[in-house]
Structure 1
Amino acid sequence: MTEIIGYALATVIGISLGLIGGGGSILTLPILVYLLAINPVLSTAYSLFIVGSTSLVGSFSYMKKGLVNYKTAVIFAIPSFIAVFLTRKYLMPAVPDELFSIGDFMVNKDLGIMVLFALVMLMASYSMITDNKPEAEENVELNYNYPLIAAEGLVVGTLTGVVGAGGGFLIIPALVLLVRLPMKMAVGTSLLIIAAKSLIGFMGDLGNQAIDWKFLLIFTGLSILGIFVGTYLTKFIPGEKLKKSFGWFVLLMAVYILVKEIIL
């Protein structure tokens, strides 16, 4: 039963990306770990492929509308690509299975990943609930602050490599504030960056992990189906109205993960 629910929720990942331009990746790891019983380290690898493929499909509609700034994507993406690939290829395999102990309580690699992911979920939920969306004027000269954009790319790439989340809630404000992209273009550019860096990060896992391609392609296909549904629903449901509700859901999920992993 939980497996059926897990597959059904794969479409929700895509629907979220289609409706609000983000949030889907924050659901992927809990679905894989808690409903489909895949270990957290392998789940982060699967998450990279699922989120990357779904975001790539989602970015096509923005490309057709001219809402992707390719120069910004390249400036942000190159350091992000390097960080996520090196993190998946070398850093994650080098992390020991047992990290440290507090008395009789042992913190292992799987627990560390889930706790860190829960903290990322808390940041994402705060971003969605407060809805402090940075505004950018439509007709304004773009500002390419290369060092800041590159530094943000390194941080997001490393975070993506560790927990398998796309990091759209970090990328979009950075593109609006640092480059002054209009919001819609920031979302389109973010989806392209997420797609590229997630798929490159997944490549770093090839050879390190045994991949169940049949499962991964089916799950990803359902997520991609969801993004088409989400994009269609934007004609009837404003994404911004859903963002706060989704943010509260993500907050509850984060609390659940912390309680389950640390207390129970």
Structure 2
Amino acid sequence: MIVILTMLSGIIIGLSLGILGAGGAILTVPVLVFFVGLDEKTAIAHSLVVVGVIAFTGTLLNLRRRGSIPDSKTLLLFAVSSAPAAAAGAMVGAVISAKWQIGILVLLMIIAATRMLRASPEHSAGAASAMKLLLVGAGTGAITGLVGVGGGFLIVPALVLFASLPMVRATATSLVLIVLNTLVAAVTLIATDNAPQWHSMVLLTLCGFGIAGVIAGQFIAGRLPAQRIRHLFAWCLIFIAAFFVIRTFLGPGQELL
């Protein structure tokens, strides 16, 4: 039963990254904790690898689609600041409480969802300055390392709201940044001897079925209106944040932060 749930979860994670360019690690961490039985720290480390591999596949697919090419200027500004920030976040995340990590993740999910629901994707902000994009990139990179996610749930709204990118290009750019940030964070964990014991079958199962999901997700995304995708993304964040609060902080035997 656990194997079947892991396979289905891999497909759902891939669909999320393929359609939204985000949300993969938000789903991966609870899957690894509640279905596979890994502890939070181990789940976060495995999540970095799984999401990075699936996002890399999505990036390769995007390069073949004319309307889904990443925005090179925005990508460069984000990459320059997010990569070192992801490394720093990974070092901090390795030593703080897992509950603090989940709490930060939930808070940021709610903020990002609220911003996405309020703002118009095409006209919510003018062209941001290079300095603002560098700061936002550093923030998303730090979150990637700190809470073990690709950062797409923050990168996508940041690209839409601050870089004024259309949803399709924001999604494509987000996938590239997710690959970079997860790679840097994972390598940092290994280099600082903070990586847990790796479970190869779990990684192979989630990556394999996640790749199938991201292919299907990109096919679906090309047939959905951008505004509907944006709203779907926001409501998914709210739902998953509520799930995290109930299971992590309000479940049996749990204490509030």
Residue-by-residue CA offset, 1:162-195 (whole Å, 9 max, x unaligned): 1122222332343344444344322211211111
Equivalent residues in 2 for 1:129-208, closer than 5 Å:
130=117, 132-135=119-122, 145-206=129-190, 207-208=193-194
The residue type paired with residue 88 of structure 2 is L
* 2:114 alignment counterpart: 126
Give the TM-score normalised by structure 2.
0.82
Residue-by-residue CA offset, 1:68-122 (whole Å, 9 max, x unaligned): 222321211121100111222x323333xxxxxxxxxxxxx22222222222333
* 1:39 alignment counterpart: 39
* 1:104 alignment counterpart: none
User: Structure 1 residues 51 and 127 mapped into 2: Cα distance closer, same or farther (>3 Å)?
Assistant: farther
Among candidates 68, 71, 74, match of residue 69 of structure 1 = 71
Structure showing greater Rg: 1
Question: 2:69–2:169: 8 Å Cα contact kept in structure 1?
Answer: yes
* 1:218 alignment counterpart: 205
Measured after TM superposition, the shift of residue 242 of structure 1 is: 5.5
* 1:94 alignment counterpart: 95
* 1:20 alignment counterpart: 20
User: Structure 1 residues 94 and 114 mapped into 2: Cα distance closer, same or farther (>3 Å)?
Assistant: closer
User: Structure 1 residues 248 and 147 mapped into 2: Cα distance closer, same or farther (>3 Å)?
Assistant: closer
Residue-by-residue CA offset, 1:42-68 (whole Å, 9 max, x unaligned): 111111111122112112233232722
What is the identity percentage for the equivalent residue pairs of Structure 1 and Structure 2?
Answer: 29
* 1:100 alignment counterpart: none
User: Structure 1 residues 131 and 166 mapped into 2: Cα distance closer, same or farther (>3 Å)?
Assistant: farther
Equivalent residues in 2 for 1:101-112, closer than 5 Å:
109-112=97-100
The residue type paired with residue 122 of structure 1 is I
Structure 1 gaps, min length 5: 96-108
* 1:116 alignment counterpart: 104
Matched positions, count = 245
Q: CA RMSD in A?
A: 2.7
The 3-state SS of whatever aligns with 1:204 is helix
| Residue 58, structure 1, aligned to residue 58, structure 2 | yes
Structure 2 gaps, min length 5: 253-257
Measured after TM superposition, the shift of residue 224 of structure 1 is: 1.1
| Residue 83, structure 1, aligned to residue 81, structure 2 | no
Q: Distance in 1 between matches of 2:137 and 2:232?
A: 28
Which of 196-205 and 3-12 deviates more? 3-12
Measured after TM superposition, the shift of residue 143 of structure 1 is: 5.0
Measured after TM superposition, the shift of residue 243 of structure 1 is: 5.1
